[in-house]
Structure formats: structure tokens, C-alpha cells
A and B are shown apart, each in its own frame.
Chain A
């Protein structure tokens, strides 16, 4: 089963390895990013940051569209990590059912002028993407680690 659908531009890092993985007792991290899938050093860094006893799969969007529906019905607890909203929209377009989306980190860069909490910075494009995802019936929350209170992102951007 997919136990968390998360957007976090840091992908595998401390909040995931020490926060979500033990909290949800994840068996596997599934990273969906065309860029990382083609970058040997970043793949090695991510493997290095993955806790022992937890599997790591790094795949392109294309591969994920085939793999994730199978993961949804398997007994293994899979935590899905996407670097941005575009990956979530691409997976949705390819038919993946996404019940909820956790926004863990979208860091500042030029044009991301709306800041929500400590680690979420949104451009106009990001807001439009979030509205499209919410419009598809996906429950969206902003939350870094399990013990944080979730932020109602859609209320914050409306």
C-alpha cells in the first residue's frame, strides 16, 4: 500500500528518514523523478540517506505509472516521494489514484513569493497546480514531520 504521498524537494532526508519512516513503519521509499533517475551521484546520496532495513526505489514518472498501482495493492508499506507538484500531476494524468497529498517542502527560489509555514514557498504556477490537484479530489496538507500540526494549504492560498 502507499502509506504517504509526499511532495518534498529534498526527497530522502532527515525528516523522512527519522520522522516519517519510523512513524509509518515504512518498508520502502519510492522516489519519482526523471532527473534523479538519471543522476548517478544523487542516486548514491539518496541510498546513503535511506535508513537500514528500508528499500529504496528511484524511478522515472513513466516507470512509476506502472509500478505505483501495483504498490498500492501490495502488502508492503511504500512511502512515495516526489520532488514537486509536476510529478504528482503527471502521475494523476497517467491514471494513478491519489487520495491525499502531503506537502513537506517546496523551497524558496525566485518567483516563489507566497510563503506558508517554514518550508513551503509557492509561485503562481504552484498555486494553480495545487488547485488542479485539489479539484481532482485530492486532500492536501502542508506538514514537515508527523508531529507537526497539518496546515490547510488550500485555505491558505484561496
Chain B
């Protein structure tokens, strides 16, 4: 099984996981959330991410889902992920990326799952009024 870590500013990731689990089912294993609070020192953020990665490393792969490119979650996770084979750090996490990660983590291999998450995330961004309603 490919493991997943969600790292976000504040409790965004915890609520995202709750919502995604409501759609595709509870993930009983292989999932960690790191919610970064403004009250945490950078040291504590690093400790939390190091611990989550140590727990979630898997020969099948590890996917780290992050909210903002360039934010603290990314800046902390990226150097830690550098030396791990089969570890992807994917920014811009939304609910479709999360449900996609949960739904296909057991059936796709690491490369395919990474591609699928990004594809589903991109496809979710759309203006549906112009797409679905005839003028």
C-alpha cells in the first residue's frame, strides 16, 4: 500500500481528510495528517513532519500532499523527501486529489498514482456554469 501524509496550514488538512473519507471511505492505515499551527516553532513543525515521514515510509511509495507551493509545509517536507526513493511531494491539494489518492492507493503503482492525483486535481478546477448550462 502506498502511504499518504497530508501537511497543511492550520486544520485544513484534517477537515479535508474527514470530507474525503466521507466520500470514499475511512482509511484505516497508511495515512497521517500534520496540521501546522502558527503557534508552532519551525523546530516543532520539522519534528512533526520527520515523525510522520518515519512512520509512513513504505517500499511501495509515499505521497505527501501539501496545500501551498512555497509555504512552510512544502519548505519543511521537501528537504526531508529528497533522499527517499518513491516519494512525491504534491502541492495544491484539493478534495478531488485527496479522494483520488484514497481511492487508488491500493490499486495503482507509485508513478501512476502520482500522475492520477495531479490529473484529477487539475480536472476539478472548472467553471461549471459555462461548461454545463446552455446560454
Contact = CB atoms under 8 A, between A and B. Distances in A.
A14 B132 contact: no
Contact of A19 (B25, B28, B128): B25
Given A18-B103, A22-B103, A145 B24 contact: yes
Contact of A48 (B23, B24, B131): B131
Contact of B103 (A13, A19, A45, A148): A19
Interface string B119-135: 00000000010011100
Given A14-B23, A45-B132, A147-B24, 6 more contacts: A22-B104, A144-B25, A145-B23, A146-B25, A147-B25, A148-B25
B23 A15 contact: yes
A68 to B, nearest CB: 27
B132 A15 contact: no
**A interface bracket (residues with beta carbon within 8 Å of B):** 10 to 19
A77 to B, nearest CB: 16
Contacts of B28: 147
A146 B28 CA distance: 13
A75 interface: no
Contacts of B23: 13-15, 18-19, 145
Contacts of A144: 25
Interface residues of B, number: 16
For the residues of A in contact with B, the DSSP-based class is helix
Contacts of A48: 128, 131-132
Contact of B107 (A15, A22, A146, A147): A22
B132 A41 contact: yes
Contacts of A146: 25
Contacts of B103: 18-19, 22
A144 B26 CA distance: 11
B99 interface: yes
B100 interface: yes
Contact of B24 (A14, A44, A118): A14
B133 A41 contact: yes
A116 to B, nearest CB: 17
A48 B100 CA distance: 16
Interface in B66-121: 99-100, 102-104, 107
Given A145-B23, A145-B24, A147-B25, A18 B100 contact: yes
18 contacts: A15-B23, A18-B24, A18-B103, A19-B23, A19-B25, A19-B103, A22-B104, A41-B133, A44-B132, A48-B131, A48-B132, A118-B22, A144-B25, A145-B25, A146-B25, A147-B25, A147-B26, A147-B28
